[in-house]
Structure 1
């Protein structure tokens, strides 16, 4: 059986599955239930200065897929609304009871050296394993000069990170905001400040929808609303890209990454790990389905690793990084063409409609003698865009077959059709 244990930024954990800083990690009761369920670690919900933050009602909204499942989750909740003293006392007690589990504490205080000095020293006394600096919260706190207001300014990221490393011996993880032009700048700043790791992504600024009767965005607070933080399956592609950007950047390559964003099963976790993540954090899936989902996550990842011959997480960690590159380095001579398996085709015509209306008119439609229809790819017109395969409702009915495999590799910087090929 595969070994799922990890050591992330010096923090040991029996498995890579951590609960992210969020409502599920707001108090000892929740955290202990999570550990009992099998989570390898938690990031305690963000602590701040007293008096504690005050939240509103209601707080959450969502978008749904065609099956009625939550596709994206939006929240306007702030950091912990419990006192710092109570949180610190509970953190200390939980860590003593669960010494083998990772316990990282998320922090957010005003951008002042003394404020950070004070709180990191208080957290260090609890025996927690590490700190996560919340530079990503997109709502409420930025209006007070915290959260994303810090994370969007690389100079602030570097400055606060350096303060925390100066006043604490604990590993420091910097949680990055995705609400920025280029995530690499923030990651580089965190590394310059001495960060032991980064975690990403935090939530994305969003309005999930409008109640057309009340003419207000959801969630509604006395007839009004505001933008919130978007998470869940819908943000996973954005998160994977940002993780890969940091993993590929020469200035941050090798910096430990805790992957966050739409992770709901073992496959999601494996994808983040393949792009360099050393641990993964989960929030939305736990809130929707409960803490027991970690059982399937662990067994699924272990079984997959066994099937691939991976004995430990580091055996496949980062293996997808070398295969992720800039567009200009992709092989211009590589060509695939769609191939339709007539035995599996149900004649729905979705591939034909998609290609005929919105793509390259590369599929022929013919009527058989029995009144059924047949679809055939016109190879000379097919550009291998994958649209027909994406729209087909039958698994493996349409495959993309490689053509012209004898041509040598040639990227856009080498292509004679590139008018700037010889530009220095």
Structure 2
């Protein structure tokens, strides 16, 4: 769905008119995967047969749905765009993944990720991570610096001794993972968890390993500690 800016009509158009349609393709995946996770971890529905659909385009997408509890997956948009051969590619990739991980059957990893899902307000807000850039594999493209500088926390230096050199400033890094998601070289940027006894350079707080979620955290004005 869009707008043809030359004709000033909605696109696609039928006899001069347009309308909204469905929602499909990769954009659906986070929504559908969350719905699968909610069904898989709800005591009332846990264990029910699940078939995942929504944005499945690669073998990795299929594997993620299976890890979240699906016994089968379905493909629609990807087949429409790339043809049925895309399913063969998914099967090959999934088979290679299983061989690499030592899985003899889908059941060996089906639902394995479900126990790691929590409601957002139960996540540990005392957990602190810092981004780390591997200088040996960094290609110095600068994408991490751009996204952090323009839309995040200005926590990545771009120069050192007059040369392009990208390094994380721990005093500003909040561990948002944006740089990890944007880096084109897998594994070059990773997240390191601060261990008990270490000091967070951004806040000056000594990590003590304690747990506090949004319902108890002092940053929440409605928490019991602030009431």
Q: So what's the TM-score if we normalise by structure 2?
A: 0.83
Decide whether the 8 Å contact of 2:158 with 2:164 is kept in 1.
Answer: yes
Match of 2:18 among 204, 225, 233: 225
- 1:126-141 alignment runs, 5 A limit: none
Q: CA separation in 2, counterparts of 1:391 and 1:261?
A: 23
Q: CA deviation at 1:367?
A: 4.4
- 1:259-408 alignment runs, 5 A limit: 259-368=52-161, 371-405=162-196, 407-408=208-209
Q: Please state whether the residue corresponding to 2:179 is helix, strand or coil.
A: helix
Match of 2:212 among 386, 398, 411: 411
Q: CA separation in 2, counterparts of 1:309 and 1:394?
A: 26
Decide whether the 8 Å contact of 2:195 with 2:209 is kept in 1.
Answer: no
> Which 10-residue stretch deviates more, 234-243 or 345-354?
345-354
**Structure of higher CA gyration radius:** 1
Q: CA separation in 1, counterparts of 2:195 and 2:84?
A: 50
> What CA deviation, in whole Å up to 9, does each residue of 1:245-287 have, x standing for no partner?
2222233222322111111222111111111112111111111
Decide whether the 8 Å contact of 1:332 with 1:409 is kept in 2.
Answer: no
Q: CA separation in 1, counterparts of 2:220 and 2:6?
A: 53
Aligned-residue CA RMSD in angstroms?
2.3
> What CA deviation, in whole Å up to 9, does each residue of 1:174-216 have, x standing for no partner?
xxxxxxxxxxxxxxxxxxxxxxxxxxxxxxxxxx211122322
After TM superposition, what 4+ stretches of structure 1 lie above 6 angstroms from structure 2? none
Decide whether the 8 Å contact of 2:131 with 2:175 is kept in 1.
Answer: yes
Q: In the superposition, relative to structure 1, how do residues 375 and 322 fare at CA in structure 2: closer, same or farther (>3 Å)?
A: same
> What CA deviation, in whole Å up to 9, does each residue of 1:202-236 have, x standing for no partner?
xxxxxx21112232222211111211112112211
Decide whether the 8 Å contact of 1:337 with 1:400 is kept in 2.
Answer: yes
> What CA deviation, in whole Å up to 9, does each residue of 1:18-57 have, x standing for no partner?
xxxxxxxxxxxxxxxxxxxxxxxxxxxxxxxxxxxxxxxx
Is there any run of 5+ residues in structure 2 with no aligned partner, and where?
198-207
Kindly tell me the number of residue pairs found equivalent between the two proteins: 215
Is there any run of 5+ residues in structure 1 with no aligned partner, and where?
1-207
Instruction: Indicate the residue corresponding to 1:422 in structure 2.
Output: 224
Q: Please state whether the residue corresponding to 1:389 is helix, strand or coil.
A: helix
> Which 10-residue stretch deviates more, 258-267 or 208-217?
208-217
Q: In the superposition, relative to structure 1, how do residues 346 and 302 fare at CA in structure 2: closer, same or farther (>3 Å)?
A: closer
- 1:4-403 alignment runs, 5 A limit: 208-368=1-161, 371-403=162-194
Q: Which structure shows the bigger proportion of residues in strand conformation?
A: 1
Q: CA separation in 2, counterparts of 1:328 and 1:376?
A: 32
Q: CA deviation at 1:243?
A: 1.3
Q: Please state whether the residue corresponding to 1:240 is helix, strand or coil.
A: helix
Q: In the superposition, relative to structure 1, how do residues 217 and 308 fare at CA in structure 2: closer, same or farther (>3 Å)?
A: same
Q: CA deviation at 1:419?
A: 4.2
Q: CA separation in 2, counterparts of 1:317 and 1:395?
A: 25
Instruction: Indicate the residue corresponding to 2:200 in structure 1.
Output: none
Q: CA deviation at 1:416?
A: 4.8
Q: CA separation in 1, counterparts of 2:48 and 2:9?
A: 42
Q: Please state whether the residue corresponding to 1:322 is helix, strand or coil.
A: helix
Q: In the superposition, relative to structure 1, how do residues 394 and 296 fare at CA in structure 2: closer, same or farther (>3 Å)?
A: closer
Q: CA separation in 2, counterparts of 1:354 and 1:303?
A: 34
Q: So what's the TM-score if we normalise by structure 1?
A: 0.47
Q: CA separation in 1, counterparts of 2:89 and 2:154?
A: 43
